[in-house]
Amino acid sequence: MRDAIARAGLEDIHRKVLEGVRLDGDDAMRLYDAGDLNAVGHLANLVRERRNGNACYFVRNQHINYTNVCNKDCKFCAFYVRVNDPAGYTLSPEDVRRRALEQLSEPIREIHMVAGINPRLPYGYYLDIIRAVKSVRPEVMVKAYTMIEIAEIVRVAKKPLEEVWADLKEAGLDSLPGGGAEVLSERVHAEIFDKKQTPTEWLAMARSAHRAGLRSNATMLYGHIETHQERVTHLLKLRELQDETGGFLTFIPLAFHPENTEMSQLPHTTGMDDLKQLAIARLMLDNFDHIKSFWIMVSPAISQVSLWYGADDIDGTIIREEITHAAGARTPQGLTRDELIGLIRETGREPVERDALYRPVAQEAAA
Amino acid sequence: MNAGRMTAAGGVRDASAAGAIEDIRGKVAAGRRIDRDEAMRLLHHPDLPALGAMADAVRLRHWPDPVVTYVIGRNLNYTNVCWVKCKFCAFYRPPGSDEGYTLTRDEIAAKIQELVDLGGREVLFQGGLNPALKLDYYLETFRWIKETWDVHIHGLSPTEIIYIAHISSLPLDRCLGMLRDAGLDTVPGAGGEILVDRVRRILAPGKDMADEWIGFMRTAHQIGIRTSSTMMYGSVETLEERVEHLDRLRSLQDETGGFNSFIPWSFQPELTEMKEIRKASAFDYLRTLAVARIYLDNIRSFQASWVTQGPKIAQVSLRFGVNDFGSTVIEENVVSAAGTTFSMDIAGMERLIRDAGFEPILRDTNYRILGPYRLPRRIHATEGAAMVSGSAAIAAAAAAHPAHPATPVN
């Protein structure tokens, strides 16, 4: 491996990794520029095994996208429709309850709820749909609302953010997903998602959530107009906040899907980029416990391979994903637990079924 | 969650916990051959970056320049009539079926002309074992094609040619010589499957057994017809049988040097009679590919399998020993009949190559470098894994083609 690392010109970074020295932004840029996927992968795997051993986490989960109505007009999104569009839908709390009931026979551990910003929804709605899920499945953890949705909830609540956190927790919110950060860059924000929170606002909201005792994830939507330097800045900002709060659980790079968006002329991300992005995230985010390879976005094939390129989590069974599929994702909308375990075992990793907070779930007979 | 905790005990360890392969690494780094036992150890080893780096080192010895080659070609599936009934094949129709076809000369002409208009020269002429087509059909068709167009016929397969020789009551070398003289330039390594009779009896009891396939290749190489080699893994074979397959290819290559390339691809169970088999994974592909690249140190070119792996893993394969993206096949009926439908155009292919850190460059069927590709229009192409292969040498023809001066890279 040393030969490959030397050929790639990464010997000093290799030394830093071995010594546990934090990498800087210049190191990250060199990792993006390095052609040798395996040299970068080897470095990431050192960190991955040091932190997570041979474990690969997965969860049995369900996605509920409660509305596709949205007033943010993000150029990368194929899921939303505008307010008043007849193609719009919004699930009532009763609909949400029914969705949860549909999967009652599945031993799901996490329900992931994110959606568009429908300005007509009242504050109580956001509490009610959490309660609806909890009324059916009190044992299931609810991971809901990106920071973008939280900003909307605060707007309609007409209450201070701290009180909103308390209400959401009381309704049953267990943790927060990582969406909405997109790329933490003023330029990219202005170009493609200018109606959402600014990067500074997103980070402030995440800080507030962590201080309120809620754990969250962090994502990065890559593969559109952002530069490598902007990706690096994004990672450094997350790392800085994590040093301060320790509240992030997982980092999840999200591969941009162009179909049906306003940027449909752009190509899909490549396999090399997907793997390197995971590896570089693992190397740079030395204070994040987990790096997730979200198979819905990058394909089950890349997720499986990525378990040797920095990732230690492949998300889960995901019953009924709709957002990425609106943008042309050709991946399945769900995988069975056995399929997931099979993919993981084949790579020599040990599948660990987890809940939303990465606590191992007691196993029934292993598949 | 503190930043400094990476200096944990054991922080100096510089390898995965996956078990030692240092001895094999040393051998590969020194340019030495690995044996069967070592291949088996690698096939059980999970550290993909380590395997990929070893395969990449072997690739570098064969292709020191940072290029990835491809060829512009088209499939010409001249007939789908076949009596062999391979269980893994979704393309064939038995003789007498209403859905059977044999292309007419007009149909063949239109397809070849379209290829030539797009700047391509490789005609992948393959079909089935159609009892209605005798040797004369092939001789006349090849002569006519070569008289009409300046193209390279990468054609038939061992199974087809063995059959043609058989129904023409000719010895194989004589039959091959006649086909060569009529215009057959190179032969794809199709039908290699797994070169172990136990496996071949299950998959395709009607086809040639391992010795016969190897014997065919030896004869072809001896009379100057270069071929590619293949492996279809992920059906009913064991890992030991994969290694046996690789060993048979390596031994013959030591003897003849007639293989231009090696192309592994995974069995595609959908739509075949063996749907219950779980499709081999991307992990399996990359590991098998890397081990093959390390083991087959005497075959120069390794080709990606677009059709079976898709663009993401095909691109990643460039760091697992692959130096060639095969043919931008305008038409590919056999693998797509089994349900896999990845497609790629030239612009998309070149982007993937550049994104992986290589320069895309056009080659001829004999792996001579022609130069960068320039064409006014995009070609919609479906990359045929199995069927597309690196093939045989016509340096002379390449050199005679003024638009594409042949400049072999090494």
The answer to whether the Cα torsion of A152, A155, A160, A166 is positive or negative is: negative
Say what the pLDDT of residue A131 is: 98
Tokens representing residue A30 in the block: 């060199």
Q: Which residue of A has its CA nearest to B313?
A: A271
| Partner-chain residue, chosen from B52, B283, B352, that has the shortest CB–CB distance to A304 | B283
Does pLDDT of B14 surpass 80? no
Instruction: State the Cα–Cα distance between residues B190 and A87, nearest whole angstrom.
Output: 50
pLDDT digits (tens, 9 = 90+) for B388-408: 222 222 222 222 222 222 222
Sheet holding A173-176, edge to edge: A61-64, A110-113, A141-144, A173-176, A215-222, A248-255, A290-291
Contact, B122 vs B71, CB < 8 A?
A: yes
- Does the CB of A45 have a partner CB in chain B at under 8 Å? yes
B282 to A298: CB separation less than 8 angstroms, yes or no: no
Contacting residues of B for A53, CB less than 8 Å apart: 17
Q: How many helices (H) and strands (E) does chain B have?
A: 15, 12
As a whole number, mean pLDDT of residues B152-163 equals 93
**Domain B66-399 grouped into CATH 3.40.50.150:** no
Say what the pLDDT of residue B273 is: 74
From the CA of B210, how many Å to the nearest CA of chain A?
Answer: 29
Contacting residues of A for B283, CB less than 8 Å apart: 304-305, 343, 346-347
pLDDT digits (tens, 9 = 90+) for A350-362: 999 999 899 999 7
Tell which of A16, A50, A284 to mutate to test the B interface (max B CBs under 10 Å).
A50
CA nearest to B72, candidates B27, B31, B8, B124 = B124
Contact, A346 vs B46, CB < 8 A?
A: no
Instruction: State the Cα–Cα distance between residues B102 and B108, nearest whole angstrom.
Output: 10
The answer to whether the Cα torsion of B57, B62, B64, B67 is positive or negative is: negative
What is the pLDDT of chain A when averaged over all its residues?
93
pLDDT digits (tens, 9 = 90+) for B56-109: 999 999 999 999 999 888 889 999 999 887 777 778 899 999 999 999 999 999
From the CA of A308, how many Å to the nearest CA of chain B?
Answer: 6
Contact, B91 vs B129, CB < 8 A?
A: no
Instruction: State the Cα–Cα distance between residues B321 and A310, nearest whole angstrom.
Output: 22
3-state secondary structure A171-207: HCEEEECCCCCCCCCHHHHHHHCCCCCCHHHHHHHHH
From the CA of B58, how many Å to the nearest CA of chain A?
Answer: 12
Q: Where are the domains of chain B?
A: 66-399
Contact, A271 vs B353, CB < 8 A?
A: no
Does pLDDT of B3 surpass 90? no
Tokens representing residue A56 in the block: 């690969």
Instruction: State the Cα–Cα distance between residues A359 and A353, nearest whole angstrom.
Output: 8
Contacting residues of A for B309, CB less than 8 Å apart: 301
Say what the pLDDT of residue B349 is: 85
Backbone angles phi, psi at A300, to 5 degrees: -60, -35
Say what the pLDDT of residue A296 is: 87
Range A9-15 contact pairs with CB under 8 angstroms and sequence separation of 24 or more: A9/A34, A10/A34, A10/A39, A10/A40, A10/A43, A13/A43, A13/A283, A14/A43, A14/B14
B4 to A272: CB separation less than 8 angstroms, yes or no: no
Instruction: State the Cα–Cα distance between residues A294 and A269, nearest whole angstrom.
Output: 14
Say what the pLDDT of residue A330 is: 67
Q: What radius of gyration do chain A's Cα atoms show?
A: 20
Q: Which residue of B has its CA nearest to A248?
A: B1
User: What single letter denotes the amino acid at residue A96?
Assistant: V
Which residues have C-beta within 8 Å of that of residue B3, sequence separation ≥ 6? A22, A239, A243, A286, A287
pLDDT digits (tens, 9 = 90+) for B215-224: 999 999 999 9
pLDDT digits (tens, 9 = 90+) for A108-130: 999 999 999 999 999 999 999 99
Tokens representing residue A181 in the block: 């950060």
What angle do the packed helices B172-182 and B158-167 form, to 10 degrees? 110
The DSSP output letter for B103 is -
B11 to A50: CB separation less than 8 angstroms, yes or no: yes
Contacting residues of A for B47, CB less than 8 Å apart: 45, 308
Instruction: State the Cα–Cα distance between residues B199 and B267, nearest whole angstrom.
Output: 13
Residue pLDDT tens, chain A, 367 long: 888 999 999 999 999 999 999 999 999 999 999 989 999 999 999 999 999 999 999 999 999 999 999 999 999 998 999 999 999 999 999 999 999 999 898 889 999 999 999 999 999 999 999 999 999 999 999 999 999 999 999 999 999 999 999 999 999 999 999 989 999 999 999 999 999 999 999 999 999 999 999 999 999 999 999 999 999 999 999 999 999 999 999 999 999 999 889 998 898 999 999 999 999 999 999 999 999 999 888 899 999 999 999 999 998 887 766 677 777 776 666 788 888 999 999 999 999 999 989 999 976 544 3
What structural domains does chain A harbor? 53-353 (3.20.20.70)
Instruction: State the Cα–Cα distance between residues B159 and B157, nearest whole angstrom.
Output: 5
Question: What residues 223-262 of chain A have any CB closer than 8 A to a CB of chain B?
Answer: 239, 242-243, 246
Contacting residues of B for A36, CB less than 8 Å apart: 53, 56, 319, 357
Instruction: State the Cα–Cα distance between residues A300 and A332, nearest whole angstrom.
Output: 9
CA nearest to A271, candidates B263, B290, B310 = B310
Say what the pLDDT of residue A84 is: 93
As a whole number, mean pLDDT of residues B234-251 equals 97
Which residues have C-beta within 8 Å of that of residue A281, sequence separation ≥ 6? A220, A235, A251, A253, A288, A291, A310
Does pLDDT of B330 surpass 80? no
Instruction: State the Cα–Cα distance between residues A59 and A70, nearest whole angstrom.
Output: 28
Contact, B286 vs B409, CB < 8 A?
A: no
| Partner-chain residue, chosen from B17, B49, B351, that has the shortest CB–CB distance to A41 | B49
B12 to A3: CB separation less than 8 angstroms, yes or no: no
| Partner-chain residue, chosen from A38, A274, A286, that has the shortest CB–CB distance to B319 | A38
Instruction: Name the one residue in this structure whose structure tokens are 């943790």.
Output: A175
pLDDT digits (tens, 9 = 90+) for B334-349: 555 544 444 457 778 8
